[in-house]
Chain A
Amino acid sequence: MKFECGDLDRALAVPDLMPDALLHAKTCPACRRELRLWNEISRTAGQLHQEWDSPDLWPRIREALAAEPKPSKPWWRSWYWLAVPALALGIFAAVLLRPPRRAEPVRGRSFLTEQALQEVEQNEAAYRKSIDKLSELAGQKLETTESPLAVSYREKLVLLDSAINDVKATLSRNRFNAQLRTELAGLYRDKQKTLEEILTRDSKN
């Protein structure tokens, strides 16, 4: 692949491309300047870290903490330590004295949760499919142009895809994590919006 100035931003996002970028920068002053600035930002940021002695701070905090009303004990805490062993003993006795029973198929809450999750996954797959179609259309438009805007869009899509894959990998380890599902849906929405922007912009031009 021949590295060009337009590839620089992508190289900054994808470390694998950095050797090519460095090689290109040797002969390109503009990219050399951008790369230097990129590294300079991190170096200068380190200088923004500030620490200082503040001998009055801790006494002030201690005073404020002392003035705080004491949190009231929840009602169950007062007999909690007595109740826990009693409850454990009760459960132990119940398990020992329970007559043996034949195993029944798993029903109820876990079954419903699994079913609900399957529905979510089906909807997600349908959504992903429609985004893939959009992606194909937008990809064709992006491939034919080398404008800085197109490069920027390509880059954004690479980042979004990488974030989507990341979340999906985490989700595969815990399919029931609702927060990650929301995050994934958000990323898909971002991707859809970006693809729509590409297509609309193109049809306007």
Chain B
Amino acid sequence: MLQNKQDAEDAVQETFLKVHRSLPGFHGESSLGTWMYRILINCCYDIVRRRKRLAETGEPADAGRHSEIPLRLALERALKRIEDKHRMVFLLFEVEGLKHSEIAGILSIPEGTSRSWLFEAKRELKRHLMLPEPRP
């Protein structure tokens, strides 16, 4: 999601701090894991927003290291071009291996919506992968 190890580690650290601060307000409405995952995802969104704000145009440190694998690289690029909510479900399901029931809990959406967003994500990705790369 962040495509950068440093940012990922910062997100984990920020998650622990937020969990520590918000623990008194946690009343077990969801499982602790789901709650922490939700915080982690919000931290990732914060980092992405911060990154956009700072307009850091440089490539992430480890981007391009898989350029010898064309489909993987194309998929990484296509993922940047699909809708945020679809990308999130795709990453949680296909990359992180979570179940739709778990994703539904984390994103506070019904399971059917999670399934439908995954389908939309794959359809958008398929479309992007079949199209030629956009000119910069």
Contact = CB atoms under 8 A, between A and B. Distances in A.
Interface string A160-181: 1011011100100000000110
Given A64-B13, A166-B111, A45 B90 contact: yes
Nearest to B94: A45
Nearest to B14: A64
Interface in A23-40: 34, 37-38, 40
A1 interface: no
Contact of B21 (A47, A68, A74, A159): A68
Contacts of B119: 12-13, 159
A68 B108 contact: no
A46 B69 CA distance: 14
A166 B113 CA distance: 8
B32 interface: no
Given A159-B116, A163-B113, A41 B125 contact: yes
Nearest to A72: B24
Interface in B43-98: 69, 71-72, 75-76, 90-91, 94-97
A44 B75 contact: yes
Contacts of A49: 95-97
A61 B13 CA distance: 5
Contacts of B129: 37, 41
Contact of A57 (B12, B21, B76, B109): B12
B116 A163 contact: yes
A34 B116 CA distance: 19
Q: Provide the main secondary structure of the chain A interface.
A: helix
A167 B13 contact: no
B72 to A, nearest CB: 5
B126 A170 contact: no
Interface centre among B5, B112, B113 (most CB of A within 10 A): B112
A54 interface: yes
B27 interface: no
Contacts of A45: 75, 90, 94-95
A141 to B, nearest CB: 23
Interface of A: 9, 12-13, 34, 37-38, 40-42, 44-50, 52, 54, 57, 60-61, 64-65, 68, 71, 74, 159-160, 162-163, 165-167, 170, 179-180, 183
The 3 closest A-B pairs by CB, nearest first: A166-B112, A45-B94, A163-B112
